[in-house]
A and B are shown apart, each in its own frame.
Chain A
Amino acid sequence: MTGEKKYTYKDMASDQEVRWCPGCDDYVILRSVQKALPEIGRNREDIVFISGIGCSSRFPYYMNTYGIHGIHGRAAAIATGVKLANPELSVWVITGDGDGLAIGGNHTIHVIRRNVDLNIILFNNEIYGLTKGQFSPTSLLGQRTKSSPFGNIQPPFNPGELVLGSNGRFFARVSGNSAKEMASIFIEAEKFKGAAFIEVLQNCVIFNDGAFDKYNDKKTRPDNQLYLEHGQKMIFGAERNKGLRLNGLKLEVVTIGENGITEDDILVHDAHNPDPTLHFMLVRLESPIVTGIIRAVEEPTFDQRFTQQMEARMAAVKEMSFDEFVMAGETFELE
């Protein structure tokens, strides 16, 4: 079911007024998705966006595709049903740190474990926006919020660790202000067969403004963010002279040209390595934070296994009508 229709990003926008706060990164994400979709080669009628509850979850209303604005935390489960009903569809899950990691945490880990062929975009702003500023499962320790006036005492999840710990096959992280990187990651996620999980570091201008400035701001980003590409050296820095190497069981930031370090010492990113050990180290790194597609290892998807088992049974069981089926076995006639 590849698409034959040609679209521009405008074809992907619905007629509904977008109602996020001015300056919110959600606008950038929406535009990036709308720009990515014409590139994935699918017809609009074969695309479905599914969300839960939260600021991000208004997203489906703004897409001129099929969509469900679900209930809190359940988008991944709804999407599983959509995908099993029609495995040919391109199904996208829109969720946030509260929706996907708190109330919907169970569905998130299981949809990843099963490897349902979905594209899951986690809008991580480390705060509850729609309910007006309570801490979330990704809020930092000590963070003062409406519901933690003396500082948050609940240690946060690292979404990357959670995904890899659930045997995640695809994990990417990207800045919420970087439209171009986002669009390219979304396209790769759609190409990837399996549960593709993308964490967007999304700034909430109202309740948690500046949370990611260190990583996302044009000036500070180069020294604090390493954007990975498969097969490329793990090099970053304003002067492109910093890199990562392995020192024993630890990742180490080194400077090329100092202490005899050359480019040859720098690790090359292998997103396709089935062994997640290095991917774990990369998602845990805080300085620099690692973005880009960190892991992409294809395995049979749940919907493939589901369909294959169904077809194998259809082939194995002699074709039998319902009437034949209910007559099979012990029956008796009454006058």
Chain B
Amino acid sequence: MDGKISHKASTADSVVIRFAGDSGDGMQLTGTQFADTSALMGNDVATFPNYPAEIRAPQGSLFGVSGFQVQIADHDITTPGDDLDLLVAMNPAALKTNIKDLPPGKMLIVDADSFTAKNLKKAGYETNPLEDGSLDAYRVIAVPVTTNTRNALLDLGLDNKSMLRSRNMYTLGIIYWIYGRSLDHTIAFFHKKFKNKPKVIEANTRALRAGNIYAENLELIPTTYQVRPAHLGKGRYRIIMGNTATAWGFIAAAKKAGKELFLGSYPITPASDILHELVKHPHFRVKAFQAEDEIAGVTSAIGAAFAGDLAITTTSGPGLALKGEAIGLAMMTELPIVIVDVQRGGPSTGMPTKTEQSDLLQALYGRNGESPIVVMAAHSPADCFDMAFRASKIALEHMTPVLLLTDGYIANGSEPWRIEKLADLPEIKTREPENRDNWMPYRRDKETLARDWAYPGMAGFEHRVGGLEKEEGSGNVNMQPLNHEEMVRIRAEKVRRVAKDLPRLEVEGAREGELLVVGWGGTYGALHSAVQNMQSTGRKVGLAHFNYIHPMPENTADVFARFDKIVVCELNTGQFFKVLQFEQPGHKYYKYNKIQGLPFTVTELTNRFNQILASGHTIEA
């Protein structure tokens, strides 16, 4: 598991969507509107209409399916794309004829109302694919489009057939929200096209808005991340989403440690899918507990860790803020818990469905008092598995809370994951004491400074822990000045020594030279591609992508010293940049930041890298 999977990641600088429905469903119009709106917003667009031969084939039949594919991108594109990122299927026949082009893990939106016995039969389905598990590999969003459209238009006095003509616009409203498109162009289009039919304008506008609001309330997030399988190493793979990989990593860690897995969690976008995944697996002795609030999520995990489970809690930025005090308790009691923060756009409620890396400083410092914990970050959907496993291993072996950062982009993205066998994963050795003679709860391992893990049920090890300052060794309450100073230093040193167990910081591309690109977390795909592009133009550019932020890999200073300039790229205003300037002083730092709720694109990165290479002195971005 050490090091990174060597694959070429191409991030979602482009999106491929196919609208498929009955030939009467208005799919061409829907697709065209999406393409036009995107073009007006500055995207390059390529489209590919696919009409049935018949002008009006029998409704619901396979040969009556009409499709319209559109690729939008921030760079020049020449094709409407190969693999779909999103398939919209207005009926079972549309699903049947198009699903083969949707890779596993991608999003599928269907009109659930159209999956009637009659339509299923026409499409040749023996069982309902929405219910028989055959679509489990996809992110299925089953929306009652027909019902919702009708409800939105009820008081307009239209007949049923006219109302249902706006189903396509309801669906388009959903897609517009997912991809952050403006409704303006399409509404203007209604006014032009239906100039003398105010009711039709009103119906279509309402349907478009209703779909838009529906998607907002569901907080639908696009799946975007994409990796070309051709560049992956040998092995057996499956497509996995980031949040699923996180969940599975914890299950694997619990198995490996011989522990039961406890999750205490409160629903929050975009982290809830980890809870949704773990509640499915009680047969693996996974105990997933939906608590009354974020604080109960983390404190129940602390209780479970005290009682001998591998205990975790999952959340996003606002939830992490609420958990701060309790994480301090876990640090003080030196109990092994893992906190997952699936970052989203902040501050405050911010942009729940958009990605950002702006919780880094909160993760590092967002607690009262001196309370260092281990902070790490996953860099891709599949990497979430490794990082969840690693976080658990560190927590259990070093008796410390570990905070794992992912983000909405990789959590909802998917990519091929090389399937790991339990036997091939590293061992996890937990720290139960055996000898009770003169045993003390804060007795520490000489190398790691980790304390023992004695829990209820173990006779002769009864002890109390708590948030008050401890006496080293006995763990009794102690507020003596020198003891406090010693304890603060021991807790910090214990976390620092985790570095000895970390993999070295690897450099991709040039091993030394002009520019070192530094990133962390979910920006890996874009940074990797950008650095490859730079390499191909002959520039000596390397990439050091951090999975471990506190502590940092021990060879960090050595790596940094080999480059003339360092640019720290983050989806925030420069949080890691700030940390590096303090912890790794003496280098020529630049930064590149984007705070738009969107991932980096390769183009903007390479532009910035070229600018830095051309500049003679340090510039503040």
Partners in one complex: yes
Spell out A's residues near B (CB within 8 Å): 14, 16, 43-50, 53, 60-61, 63-71, 74, 77-86, 88-89, 106-107, 110, 306, 309-310, 313-314, 316-317, 320-323, 325-327, 329-335
A44: chain B residues within 8 A (beta carbon): 459, 462
* Contact assessment for A64 and B462 in the assembled complex, using a CB-CB cutoff below 8 Å: yes
Bound-complex Cα distance A107 to B294 (A): 11
Within the complex, the shortest CB–CB distance from A299 to chain B, in Å, comes to 19
Known contacts A74-B326, A322-B255; is-contact A82 B306 (Cβ 8 Å): yes
Check if B439 is an interface residue, CB within 8 A of chain A: no
- Of B237, B421, B457, B464, which contacts A323 at CB under 8 A? B421
Of B74-82, B186-194, B267-275, B277-285, the stretch lying at the interface with chain A is: B277-285
A332: chain B residues within 8 A (beta carbon): 229, 236-238, 416
Number of residues on chain B facing chain A (CB within 8 A): 69
Of A64, A68, A89, most buried by chain B (CB within 10 Å of CB) is A68
* Contact assessment for A81 and B421 in the assembled complex, using a CB-CB cutoff below 8 Å: no
* Contact assessment for A330 and B239 in the assembled complex, using a CB-CB cutoff below 8 Å: yes
Bound-complex Cα distance A50 to B264 (A): 18
Of B148-156, B296-304, B549-557, the stretch lying at the interface with chain A is: B296-304
* Contact assessment for B464 and A85 in the assembled complex, using a CB-CB cutoff below 8 Å: no
Q: 5 closest pairs, A vs B, by CB?
A: A69-B466, A81-B303, A81-B300, A85-B307, A77-B296
Dominant SS among interface residues on chain B: mixed
Bound-complex Cα distance A48 to B301 (A): 16
Known contacts A61-B464, A68-B465, A69-B464; is-contact A77 B236 (Cβ 8 Å): no
17 contacting pairs across A/B (C-beta < 8 A)? A46-B456, A48-B456, A53-B467, A63-B464, A69-B464, A71-B325, A81-B311, A82-B307, A85-B303, A89-B307, A306-B287, A320-B283, A322-B251, A322-B422, A329-B137, A332-B236, A334-B233
Bound-complex Cα distance A74 to B327 (A): 13
Known contacts A77-B296, A106-B292, A332-B236; is-contact A82 B303 (Cβ 8 Å): yes
* Contact assessment for B326 and A66 in the assembled complex, using a CB-CB cutoff below 8 Å: no
With A77-B291, A316-B283 given, can you name 7 additional A-B contacts, CB distance below 8 Å? A48-B307, A61-B466, A82-B304, A86-B456, A310-B287, A332-B236, A334-B236
Known contacts A70-B467, A86-B307; is-contact A329 B136 (Cβ 8 Å): yes
- Of A53, A68, A88, A316, which contacts B457 at CB under 8 A? A88
- Of B229, B285, B306, B456, which contacts A334 at CB under 8 A? B229
* Contact assessment for A334 and B300 in the assembled complex, using a CB-CB cutoff below 8 Å: no
Bound-complex Cα distance A16 to B477 (A): 9
* Contact assessment for B296 and A334 in the assembled complex, using a CB-CB cutoff below 8 Å: no
Bound-complex Cα distance A61 to B464 (A): 6
Within the complex, the shortest CB–CB distance from B236 to chain A, in Å, comes to 5
Bound-complex Cα distance A318 to B144 (A): 34
* Contact assessment for A45 and B461 in the assembled complex, using a CB-CB cutoff below 8 Å: yes
Q: Which of chain B's residues has its CB closest to A333's CB? A: B236
Spell out B's residues near A (CB within 8 Å): 104, 136-137, 229, 232-239, 248, 251-252, 255, 260, 262, 264, 282-285, 287, 289, 291-293, 295-296, 299-309, 311, 325-326, 328-329, 333, 416, 419-423, 455-468, 476-477
* Contact assessment for A326 and B248 in the assembled complex, using a CB-CB cutoff below 8 Å: yes
Known contacts A71-B325, A327-B419; is-contact A86 B462 (Cβ 8 Å): no
- Of A14, A53, A71, A317, which contacts B299 at CB under 8 A? A71
* Contact assessment for B303 and A77 in the assembled complex, using a CB-CB cutoff below 8 Å: yes
* Contact assessment for A71 and B326 in the assembled complex, using a CB-CB cutoff below 8 Å: yes
Bound-complex Cα distance A116 to B308 (A): 19
B282: chain A residues within 8 A (beta carbon): 309-310, 313-314
A323: chain B residues within 8 A (beta carbon): 421-423
Q: Which of chain B's residues has its CB closest to A109's CB? A: B292
Known contacts A66-B463, A68-B333, A85-B262; is-contact A80 B458 (Cβ 8 Å): no
Of A53, A69, A314, A327, most buried by chain B (CB within 10 Å of CB) is A69
A331: chain B residues within 8 A (beta carbon): 236-238, 419
B260: chain A residues within 8 A (beta carbon): 85
A333: chain B residues within 8 A (beta carbon): 235-237
* Contact assessment for B300 and A84 in the assembled complex, using a CB-CB cutoff below 8 Å: yes
Within the complex, the shortest CB–CB distance from A289 to chain B, in Å, comes to 31
B233: chain A residues within 8 A (beta carbon): 334
B284: chain A residues within 8 A (beta carbon): 322, 325
B460: chain A residues within 8 A (beta carbon): 45
Q: Which of chain B's residues has its CB closest to A89's CB? A: B456
- Of B137, B308, B329, which contacts A70 at CB under 8 A? B329
Known contacts A310-B285, A322-B422, A330-B239; is-contact A66 B255 (Cβ 8 Å): no
Of B137, B236, B462, B463, most buried by chain A (CB within 10 Å of CB) is B462
Q: Which of chain B's residues has its CB closest to A15's CB? A: B476
* Contact assessment for A80 and B248 in the assembled complex, using a CB-CB cutoff below 8 Å: no
Known contacts A14-B464, A323-B422, A326-B238; is-contact A45 B456 (Cβ 8 Å): yes
B305: chain A residues within 8 A (beta carbon): 81, 85
Within the complex, the shortest CB–CB distance from A92 to chain B, in Å, comes to 12
Within the complex, the shortest CB–CB distance from B23 to chain A, in Å, comes to 31
Within the complex, the shortest CB–CB distance from B298 to chain A, in Å, comes to 9
Within the complex, the shortest CB–CB distance from A190 to chain B, in Å, comes to 15
Within the complex, the shortest CB–CB distance from B255 to chain A, in Å, comes to 5
Q: Which of chain A's residues has its CB closest to B229's CB? A: A334
Bound-complex Cα distance A304 to B416 (A): 39
B104: chain A residues within 8 A (beta carbon): 330
B234: chain A residues within 8 A (beta carbon): 334-335
A321: chain B residues within 8 A (beta carbon): 422
Bound-complex Cα distance A183 to B531 (A): 71
Bound-complex Cα distance A48 to B262 (A): 18
Bound-complex Cα distance A329 to B91 (A): 25
Within the complex, the shortest CB–CB distance from A322 to chain B, in Å, comes to 5
* Contact assessment for B236 and A81 in the assembled complex, using a CB-CB cutoff below 8 Å: no
B299: chain A residues within 8 A (beta carbon): 70-71, 74, 77-78, 81
Q: Which of chain A's residues has its CB closest to B418's CB? A: A334
Known contacts A64-B462, A322-B251, A323-B421; is-contact A80 B289 (Cβ 8 Å): yes
* Contact assessment for A74 and B295 in the assembled complex, using a CB-CB cutoff below 8 Å: yes
Known contacts A68-B333, A70-B299, A329-B136; is-contact A60 B464 (Cβ 8 Å): yes
* Contact assessment for A71 and B329 in the assembled complex, using a CB-CB cutoff below 8 Å: yes
* Contact assessment for B292 and A107 in the assembled complex, using a CB-CB cutoff below 8 Å: yes
Bound-complex Cα distance A48 to B461 (A): 12
Bound-complex Cα distance A83 to B306 (A): 11
* Contact assessment for A61 and B296 in the assembled complex, using a CB-CB cutoff below 8 Å: no
Q: Which of chain B's residues has its CB closest to A79's CB? A: B303
* Contact assessment for A326 and B420 in the assembled complex, using a CB-CB cutoff below 8 Å: yes
Within the complex, the shortest CB–CB distance from A231 to chain B, in Å, comes to 36
Within the complex, the shortest CB–CB distance from B281 to chain A, in Å, comes to 8
* Contact assessment for A82 and B137 in the assembled complex, using a CB-CB cutoff below 8 Å: no
B303: chain A residues within 8 A (beta carbon): 50, 68, 77-83, 85
Bound-complex Cα distance A77 to B264 (A): 10
Q: Which of chain B's residues has its CB closest to A312's CB? A: B282
Q: Which of chain A's residues has its CB closest to B289's CB? A: A84
* Contact assessment for A69 and B465 in the assembled complex, using a CB-CB cutoff below 8 Å: yes
* Contact assessment for A327 and B236 in the assembled complex, using a CB-CB cutoff below 8 Å: yes
B285: chain A residues within 8 A (beta carbon): 310, 314
